[in-house]
Amino acid sequence: MISRLSAISLNTFREAVRDRVLYNLIVFALVLVAGAPLLGQISIDIEQLALINVGLSAISLFSVVIAIFIGIGLVSKEIEKRTLYTILARPVRRWEFIAGKFFGLLMTLVANMALMTAGFYAAMLVYQHHLTGADARLLIAVYFTILELLMVTAITLLFSSFSTPIFSAVFSFSLFAIGTFSEDLRNFAALAHGATKWFSTVAAYAVPNFASLNVISQVAHQQPINGRLILFNTLYALLYSAAVTAGAVLIFERRNLK
């Protein structure tokens, strides 16, 4: 089982890194990071702040875009090219295929993140001429972005398991946008009454919570991040992505591929 999973994951990774769109997005993100000090220069006293805000935001946003654009084609492309039938004809179970795709995409995204983070720190080095211990704190925001990607990957895979690439992209982006406002949804639930309260509370917990994973402003202002927040965010992202991937498996198991 492990060998089958790793084979699918590695193949997904290899296929993804051959995609030219991926490189275009990474280069664009790196150009944005490199250009961040320019934004600081047309303002007053926010050069470093602008570099951190623009850099970390670019890494986060482009990673999400990459996750969705690669993720939406993971299943449908295999069906379109009819390679899925060859894979499933071997002793590979459907859940192994989905899990393998999930880990493969995650590997790709983490590799991209590493590349973009290296670019970000290089820009910091050029701007500041040196890196300090305090700059390592920025890695918490990067880590939270990886947790965010864990959830986005699972969501994209869920939609990809039953829908067309274009609809998967629309659904995934919509859910990402809703997830960034999930705390407002919860605030709304707290104010509502009766059935509206019940419905909005369920909706608030069903949609992903990306708001708590965005600590870019805090790290940019050198505010401490609570260790318990790191722990519970990790737990939340792992459990949520596992639940969504299980949903994707459930749908894909029942899907008629004939």
Q: Does 212 bind another protein (CB under 8 A)?
A: yes
CB of 2: closest distance to another protein in angstroms? Answer: 16
Selected binder of another protein within 112, 153, 160, 209 (CB under 8 A): 209
Query: Which ranges of the chain does DSSP label H, i.e. alpha helix?
Result: 2-17, 20-41, 47-71, 76-80, 83-89, 94-128, 138-160, 165-180, 182-191, 194-206, 216-220, 227-254
Nearest to 191 by CA among 202, 177, 201: 201
CA angle 243, 246, 250 (to 5 degrees): 140
Q: Which two tokens stand for residue 115?
A: 């590349």
Selected binder of another protein within 136, 232, 255, 257 (CB under 8 A): 232
- Reduce the DSSP state of residue 135 to 3 states and report it: helix
Binding piece for another protein, criterion CB under 8 A, among 10-18, 71-79, 165-173, 205-213: 205-213
d(CA 62, CA 44): 27
Nearest to 99 by CA among 207, 17, 12, 165: 12
CB of 256: closest distance to another protein in angstroms? Answer: 13
CB-facing half-sphere around the CA of 147: CA atoms within 13 A: 26
Cβ within 8 Å of residue 15, ≥6 positions away: none
Selected binder of another protein within 14, 81, 93, 255 (CB under 8 A): 93
CB of 187: closest distance to another protein in angstroms? Answer: 5
CB of 19: closest distance to another protein in angstroms? Answer: 29
CB of 255: closest distance to another protein in angstroms? Answer: 12
Q: Does 217 bind another protein (CB under 8 A)?
A: yes
Only one residue has tokens 């009454």, namely 193
Q: Which is nearer to another protein, 113 or 216 (CB)?
A: 216
Q: Does 253 bind another protein (CB under 8 A)?
A: yes
Q: What are phi and psi of 196, to 5 degrees?
A: -60, -40
Q: Does 235 bind another protein (CB under 8 A)?
A: yes
User: For the window 161-190, what string marks contact with another protein as x by the rule CB under 8 A?
Assistant: --------------------x-xx-xxx-x
CB of 17: closest distance to another protein in angstroms? Answer: 29
Residues of this chain that interact with another protein (CB under 8 A) are 93-95, 181, 183-184, 186-188, 190-191, 205, 209, 211-212, 217, 221, 226, 228-229, 232-233, 235-236, 239-240, 242-243, 246-247, 249-250, 253-254
